[in-house]
Amino acid sequence: MKYSKSFNRYYVFMKRLLLVLFLFGSEALFAQTVNGKLVDQKGIGLAEMQLKLYSSPYNYSTNSDSYGSFTFNNITDVKEGSQLPTGYAVSNNFPNPFNPKTRIYITLPNSGNVRVEVFNILGQKVRDEVERTFSAGTNLIDLELNGLPNGMYLANINLDGRYSVTKKLMLLYGSQHLNTGSGSPSFQMNTSTLSISSMLDTKIDSLVITGAYIAKKVFMGLPNMVGSSLDLGNLVIDIPTTGMPCEGTPTITYGGKTYNTVQIGTQCWLKENLDIGSMILLNQDATNNSVIEKWCYNNDTSNCTKYGGLYQWNEVMQYVTTPGAQGICPSGWHIPTLEEYSTLALAVNNDGNTLKAIGQGTENGVGTNTSGFSALEAGWSSGPTLSTNTDFWSSTEYNSDNVYHMGLSYATNFIYLADNYKSKKFGFSVRCVKD
């Protein structure tokens, strides 16, 4: 029989390919991918998160892209595994390559069930599964792939529902046809074909996520991979809002200066001390003259730029006494009440160090700024130095002469609130909270 030149070239190529496959024996032939998307509780993609996928005995790493999407490549290779238990054996298919029928011999120590499924390299089932009950001893199963294209196929053989074996089949038209006689196999049974983690059923132990917004998030109970890829879809991670810019209002411009915002629990705060108005000297008092007046520590305007202004309470409130008044805050914001400071303290577990910027404080009062509040040791109008306690006015009066405020100590993690009041004439810092 004569063949065309193109067929002869193709046949030579396939023979060389088969030679390479057989030389490498159990080396990897196929790679799997796992993909998905990381989103927060609002469905927004989480960028630049670090992911580790554990599929025993290996682990794989990747990062999410700017949209939160991720892909793990080359997860599991189809390989020959460890030996089957004594009494079980599965032969390689014969002939191989074949056209279009091939045979596999199976030995069982006792009567049992055998199920065979055939897939292409994309993990798509190409033939109805074959399921039979065999007696103890050596049995055979013939597989026919008539009508399918040339190429590599995978036979997943399940023994008694306990052991899974993967065999590599090469269909090549023009190859040897199976002699359907039922005689004994003319080749040696191979007992080293157990594939506990085959390409057709790869178990994912866990997926671990770390990143700027979270310490660790672990996903367990993920589906096994069947075929060449697995799409995990959207994986939702609840991102703590504390320390993040306020949604929809990451910054605000007021009086020619831009302030950052920070979400702490249910509250939205300015991240910097207020610095608005004209400087007066420390030996002068602010007056109700329609001009916002501030003190700068040590009469130095650069201190106002860095630490914010120091204000007398009446000026802060713009000469009203209503708790929660806007005062000198921008529109839509107000001077915090004592109750709102208490809410802030509860949100940070009453740990003042979480409210202080990195580099602030000493001894037991070193700032961690895990809240993002970024408090600085701004001092106060009668304080000896900047590196001392910092105080913030509330809008809640104690009496006609004194007002509650929030104080942070430079040497402890205390948050001073209860019975913490000062004269309205002092100059303290101002933080605004969103209405």
Please indicate, yes or no, if residue 324 is contained in any of the structural domains: yes
281, 401: one domain: yes
379 in the same domain as 355: yes
Shared-domain flag, residues 309 and 422: yes
- How many Cβ atoms are within 10 Å of 244's Cβ, its own excluded? 15
Q: What is the pLDDT of residue 191?
A: 43
> What does the pLDDT read at residue 30?
47
Helix (H, G, I), strand (E, B) or coil at 304: helix
Tens-level pLDDT at each residue, the chain (435 residues): 454 555 455 444 444 444 434 333 333 344 578 999 999 888 888 888 999 998 866 788 999 998 999 999 876 544 444 467 778 888 888 888 888 889 999 988 889 999 898 888 777 888 888 889 999 888 889 988 888 888 888 888 888 877 778 888 888 876 677 765 544 444 444 443 444 334 445 678 899 999 866 778 999 988 877 666 789 999 999 877 778 899 889 999 999 999 999 999 889 999 999 999 999 998 899 999 999 999 998 889 999 999 999 999 999 999 999 999 999 999 999 999 999 999 999 989 999 999 999 999 888 999 999 999 999 988 776 544 555 778 999 999 999 999 999 999 889 999 999 777 889 999 999 999 999
171, part of any domain: no
Beta strands 50-55; 151-159: pairing state:
unpaired
* Distance in angstroms (rounded) separating the CA atoms of residues 243 and 227: 42
Q: Give yes or no: residues 222 and 258 share one domain.
A: no
| Same-domain check for residues 306 and 408 | yes
Residue where a domain terminates, one of 212, 236, 260: 236
| 415 shares its domain with 366 | yes
Could you tell me if 216 and 280 lie in one domain?
no
pLDDT (0 to 100) of residue 391:
92
Residues 263 and 372 reside in one and the same domain: yes
CATH number of the domain that 210 lies in?
Answer: 2.60.40.10
- Residue 56, domain member (yes or no): yes
- Pull the structure tokens for residue 199: 């390409």
- Shared-domain flag, residues 207 and 331: no
Owning domain of residue 65? 22-76+202-236
Provide the terminal-to-terminal Cα distance of the chain, rounded to the nearest Å: 90
Q: Is residue 311 part of a domain?
A: yes
Instruction: For residue 363, give every residue at least 6 positions away whose Cβ sits within 8 Å of its Cβ, in sequence order, or none.
Output: 411, 412
- The strand ranges marked E within 160-215 are 163-171, 206-210
> What span, in angstroms and rounded, lies between the C-alpha atoms of 241 and 342?
18
Size of the chain in residues: 435
pTM of the complete model? 0.52
Contact indicator for 80, 26 with CB cutoff of 8 Å: yes
List the structure tokens of 26: 């159990």
Examine residue 96 and state whether it is found in any structural domain, yes or no.
no
Do 226 and 307 lie in a common domain?
no
Q: How many CB atoms lie under 10 A from the CB of residue 362?
A: 12
Q: What is the pLDDT of residue 172?
A: 86
353: phi then psi, degrees, rounded to nearest 5: -65, -30
204, amino acid identity: I
Separation between Cα atoms, residue 47 and residue 65, nearest integer Å: 5
Burial label for 9, CB within 10 Å (0-12, 13-18, 19+), is exposed
Q: Do 11 and 174 contact (CB within 8 A), yes or no?
A: yes
In a domain? residue 398: yes
**Is residue 301 domain-shared with residue 418, that is, in the same domain?**
yes
Same domain? 417 vs 366: yes
- Residue 371 in domain: yes
For 369-389, give the secondary structure using H, E and C.
CCCCCCECCCCCCCCCCCCCC
Q: How many domains does the chain have?
A: 2
Residue 325 lies in a domain: yes
Contact at 8 Å (CB) between 233 and 243? no
What letters, b where the CB count within 10 A reaches 16 and e where it falls short, cover 393-428?
bbbbbbeeeebbbbbbbbebbbbbbeebbbebebbb
